[in-house]
């Protein structure tokens, strides 16, 4: 009897054990999947779930978001972090409306051409929304392939072209089966083959895992040094954005001065928000979220 392939083992496990997430429901649509993938970048599922539901309720289509302002996108993004994603997602919605009649395209090259859509997100939408055969490689997938196939305890901090090749070699030839396997690899890394406490005893590929066979231990520390938050420009930017999100009009400079006592750092953080297209000056003494109460700017190319 032929042994099941690596992809078959993981896909069978996934069909029985996958988390019940709303963007995985049948017929959910490419826009809903695109929004989820953007939100899930560097953000845990538990934080994304309420934000995704609120976002999809307000803007169920790209056209709905494109008709609204960047300021409202930033407000709805709330405290998910990395708020430039909100503006880029709105830019993406505008491009989908203008270039594709409001429908998220199914061609990989067209997805890659959308604002804010990179290698991972484009392949994820093509696979999960349209059932295509593409290697969808995030940190979890790289870790699974590195351990089970290469026998290494960790895949390193960044995705390389070789990671795409290694993952694609594991995918079944049939597109729908490949798309299922892509989702399964990701889920396995997220809940079983975790970075610090892998649950090898219940892993569907434990018997063929080269890292498990080698007897190596999981790395004791993180692959990348955790980013400090307290006292950083990121914290100051977040505090400034919080005031501007809650405001109903332009906020005087004096009000923003109360957010942080270090004048140099506060000014630097505010200038960064302006440069990133999140905040705009109103006259000489006030600021507001970009496009708040005025015409929305054109999306970035």
Contacts of 34 (CB under 8 A, 6+ apart): 92, 104, 117, 121, 125, 129
H-assigned helices in the chain: 6-17, 30-39, 45-58, 62-66, 70-77, 84-100, 108-112, 119-128, 139-145, 161-170, 175-191, 210-214, 233-246, 253-257, 263-275
* CA–CA gap between residue 182 and residue 138 (Å, rounded): 10
The one catalytic residue among 3, 16, 25, 37:
37
Confidence of residue 220 (pLDDT cuts 50, 70, 90): low
Whether 37 sits among the annotated catalytic residues: the reply is: yes
* CA–CA gap between residue 165 and residue 168 (Å, rounded): 5
Which pLDDT score, from 0 to 100, does residue 161 have?
87
As a whole number, mean pLDDT of residues 119-129 equals 97
Q: Which structure tokens are listed for 124?
A: 């994820």
Out of 32-36, 64-68, 154-158, 197-201, which region has the weakest mean confidence (pLDDT)?
154-158
Q: What would the pLDDT profile of 136-168 be if each residue is shown by its tens digit?
A: 999 999 999 999 999 998 877 777 888 999 999
Q: What would the pLDDT profile of 223-271 be if each residue is shown by its tens digit?
A: 556 567 788 999 999 999 999 999 988 999 999 999 999 999 999 999 9
Q: pTM value?
A: 0.90
């Amino acid at each position: 009897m032929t042994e099941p392939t690596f992809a078959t083992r993981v896909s069978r496990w996934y069909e029985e054990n996958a988390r019940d997430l709303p963007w995985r429901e049948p017929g959910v649509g490419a826009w809903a999947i695109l929004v989820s993938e953007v939100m899930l970048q560097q953000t845990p599922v538990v934080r994304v779930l309420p934000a995704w539901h609120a976002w999809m309720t307000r803007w169920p289509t790209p056209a709905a978001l494109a008709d609204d302002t960047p300021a409202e996108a930033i407000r709805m993004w709330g405290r998910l972090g990395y708020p430039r994603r909100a503006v880029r997602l709105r830019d993406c919605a505008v491009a989908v409306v203008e270039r594709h009649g409001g429908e998220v395209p199914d061609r990989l090259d067209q997805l890659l051409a959308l604002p804010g859509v990179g290698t991972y997100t484009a392949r994820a939408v093509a696979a999960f929304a349209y059932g295509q055969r593409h290697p969808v490689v995030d940190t979890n997938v790289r870790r699974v392939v590195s351990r089970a196939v290469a026998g290494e305890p960790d895949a390193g901090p960044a995705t390389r072209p070789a990671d795409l090749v290694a993952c694609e070699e594991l995918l079944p030839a049939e597109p729908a089966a490949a798309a299922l396997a892509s989702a399964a690899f990701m889920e396995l890394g997220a809940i079983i083959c975790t970075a610090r406490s892998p649950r090898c005893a219940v892993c569907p590929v434990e018997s063929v895992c080269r890292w498990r066979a080698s007897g190596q231990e999981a790395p004791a520390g993180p692959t990348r040094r955790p980013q400090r938050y307290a006292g950083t420009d990121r914290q100051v930017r977040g505090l400034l954005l919080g005031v501007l999100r809650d405001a109903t009009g332009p906020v005087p400079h004096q009000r923003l001065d109360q957010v942080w006592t270090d004048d140099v750092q506060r000014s630097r953080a505010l200038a960064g928000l302006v440069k990133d297209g999140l905040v705009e000056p109103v006259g000489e003494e006030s600021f507001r979220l970009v496009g708040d109460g005025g015409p929305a700017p054109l999306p970035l190319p």
